[in-house]
Each structure stands twice: as structure tokens, then as C-alpha cells.
Structure 1
């Protein structure tokens, strides 16, 4: 089978031929039909001291299962998060991280909707966003962000602010339901908001905290790090909450399943519209990374093995 790999920090990415892996206990062997490219993986390629396995969101058909697997069997269509080599024709997916693909949905729909949508929905839940409150989403044109904008609107936000890196993305995020658009470099991001969903971190994090109204909550789900001064929280009784999807999937499978069903319900109703920026072959994985690294994507970036 084909697999994408790299040997030193920064790449280059290349395709190699390797044996199809065997599933271990609790694992599914999945024939990959679509693989989502994520910012955390892109960042690790450019920043991690040692090469990593290129994993991430994937969707496809179960080929065989390992010992102890009870929820899935060969022929099932699944989606989930792969922590090993996922940029490949076949990949191993742990049963706890897998969920069924809804009837009639494509693998691309599943990759664009489920994992990114779970993060977006989970971040909203972590923020305790109530109907009538105001929500600001950073990286609002990203795979997660463009769904978070829609979910905030669907869940009754009185005002949704989409923060983006480039004003050229304004029309796109407004088409998703954003009331206002803030560009990172703007002097002002408008009136303060009750909740911020931050997928950027780093130098933008203090700015995101400053955008909160007194008593506001910021949910950080970025791999970009960043530092917040305690006084900036104390002065406005603000909160910063960390959110990690893997923790929910492993520790709260009931909640994970409820959120997944909610996403498919909204998708089926037409209330939630995942957007795919582009589909790339395994041989073009470097181009897929560049689409995210350059912040040029509008929606999800997907590999199609």
C-alpha cells in the first residue's frame, strides 16, 4: 500500500510502499476513502524535533477488525481520528475513536463534518454558550471554524463574529451566517462578546481574551499555545477553558455519540453545511499542507487515497 511520510523537520513529504498493517486488539483496519488534513499535524511537521506519523481524521470501509472489537465488522463505513499513519491507502483506527457514517453520506462528508464538527460543537458546549449570547470564532474559515460559525447561529447566538486572517475570506464566512467579520490585524474586533472559540492561540490569544465581555468565557482548542496574564482574567472575571476532543471520545463515549447524532441530524436537515476547500491525492499531500499553512483554505482540506 501507499503511505505518506517524511524524514526530517519540515519535510519534504513523499509516498512510499509499505505492507498493509494488521489490526491489534481493539483496532479496525480501514480502507481510507478520505483523510482530513488538520492544522495540528501541519504544525508538527514544521515544528516537531522528530518526524511524526501523519495521522488525523479519516473515513472509509472496515476491512477487518482486531481482537475484542464488538461495535464494528468488515464492510461497515466508519469515520474517526487516527493517531498513527493515516495518510495512506489503509490505516488503523481504534474502536473508541470510530463512529458510523450516516446512510447516504459520502466519506468526504463524514471527514468534513464529523471530526471537525465534534470539535466545534464540543467547544460551544464547553463555553456554555446560551441562546441570545454573542460568540466570536477565530480561524472562522477553517475546517472547524466554518462549522462553529454555523453551529453558533443554529444554537441561537444573538450575534456571531467571524475572525479571520484575510479580509478576502469575509464573504465566505458571512455566507455561513456570520453577522460581523473581524480581521486579526484590525484595531478593533467590535463590541465585546460572551464567548470566544479560539483555534489559533499564540500571539492572538491575549487579543481573544481582550474581546471577551466581563464574565466571558474563552475555549482554547488550538495547538498554537499562547500565554494569558492572570490579571487580564481577574479584572473582568473572565475564564479560559481548555478543550480536547480525544478526552471526550475516550472518557465520555455517551456524550461523544450524542454530539455525533446531533451533527448528522443538522446535516440531514440542511442546517449544517460542511464545505470542502479542496481534494488532493496522496502524491499531492504537500500541496494540501500548503493550503492550510498559507491560511488560504475556506473549509476542509481533504486527501483522497
Structure 2
């Protein structure tokens, strides 16, 4: 006899696909986002898809020589535009200020300490940045760090260093460098905070735009995904980073231009400090603006105009001319 009672069916679980670079740090950051979203939306499934980017593949050339447009993001952005992934998790400092048509910065997460860190070879454990010996070999792949440290410590020898964080630490421990400069945030996220010998103060090195924060990029108009990722946004970090990104965007600077920032929100007032430096470290142009956090992007634009009028444009023109050669 045929039963008239239908067997209940379970609706398939919606799977959200998250794009990430393959590096250890990128995966730690992406898995944090995945796990936080899984807690908030247990009815959904979150799946991580990894990709190699151009910046991951080209390790024998300094970043300043291979350009800045989407070095660590383009493959992930292509994946979103082609519908292969729903959103991508980036270190915000790697995300260009001008995104491809059809994509948007959907969320900025709470910031880890954005400062730079000094990591030293074991023979210099008793030293600080200002007591390292003359001629000490300092490793950094960042022109921003290079220009500022050259300004304050012209007696050091600076040498480019590429590779993931573990590779850089290995090169240091092998004695190829006396010290290297890394981001505090990356070391802490990889549970390597014990390698931080000194947190470099802002008066010696302003940090990179967006450093320490994660940026989640998604398709414009994808309201479902935007609603999900917005639950991870930290408003204070977002205001600070939007001001920083507006400053960088107005100056049209990338990783081959030494641009540094520092931001704070105290008692409802956003303070944005910005710097443009010459490659040789001889000239540092720095200024500060303050205002309401809601006006963050306008503040960034205004600060860029301020430093331009104080001589930053001459520096930028010289760097751009050199890059075109």
C-alpha cells in the first residue's frame, strides 16, 4: 500500500565561499573571519578557497620594482568577478585604494597594533634601534620604512628582504641581517609576539595605510554577503582606515612611494597624521588634521592637499619620474 505521508526533506545548506592568499598569515586571518561568521550564522557553511597572487609568486624582485596595483589582490578580485568566490579577506594595507569596477570594500575589522616592530639577531639582544652599531644591516622591503629609518639612522646599511614571515625570520637568524623590520600585527597574529624586540615609536616610523586591520572585499550589490560581513566591522578602526586610505588615494601613492600615517580617535575627535618622504630619507613632510570621524575621508583628502602644498608633490613627481625610467 502506498503511503500518503511525504518524507520531509532537508533544504541544502547555503555555502559561502571565502577567498584567501595561501600564506600562513593570510590563512590565519581568513580562518578567523570564517570562524567568527560561523558563530554568527550557524545555519550557513563557510568554505575557504586559496589562490596564489603575483606578489606571492615573484619573490626575487623588490615590491617597488614590480608595481603596486593589485599585487596581492588581483587573482582574488578576478575570482569574485567571475563568481568563483563570494568575498575575499585581505590585509587592508595590501588592498589598493581604487578597486576594480563591480567590487567594494565591504568591511574593516578591529585593528591589531599597527606599529612596526624591530626584530634582532640574537647577538643584538641587548640593543635597541638607536643603539645598534654603525653599519648594522637592516632588512626591509618597505620603502616607507626605509625612507623614515634612513632619515633617523643614516649610519645603518639597508638591504631588501622578501618572502613570507617565516622566511624573513630564518634569514635573520642565519645572520644575513643584524635586524629586520616587520609589522607588529603579523607577528602577534602568528603567535610570534615573543620575536618583537622593540615596538618602533611613531616619531621614528609612521605605519602603513591600513596596517593591522583586515579588509573584506565583496561584489557591489551583493546585499546578502554585505550584510554578513558587516557584522564584523569595527567602527573606530573603519573611520581611521577610511581617513588613511583617502590620504593615500589623493596622493595616488602605492608601495613604491614612502607614505606613512598615524590615526587616533579620542573623545570623539579623529586625529590623522600623514607623511611623505623622499627615497633617500633626506626630506620628510609631515602634517596633522583633526575632525569628526564622520568626516574621515574628507580629512584624508585635506591632509593630502596640505602636504602637497608643503612640498610633497615635488617628492612624488621625482619618484614617479624615476619609476618610469
Choose between structure 1 and 2: higher strand proportion: 1
Choose between structure 1 and 2: higher helix proportion: 2
TM-based fold match above 0.5:
no
TM-score scaled to structure 2, two decimals? 0.27
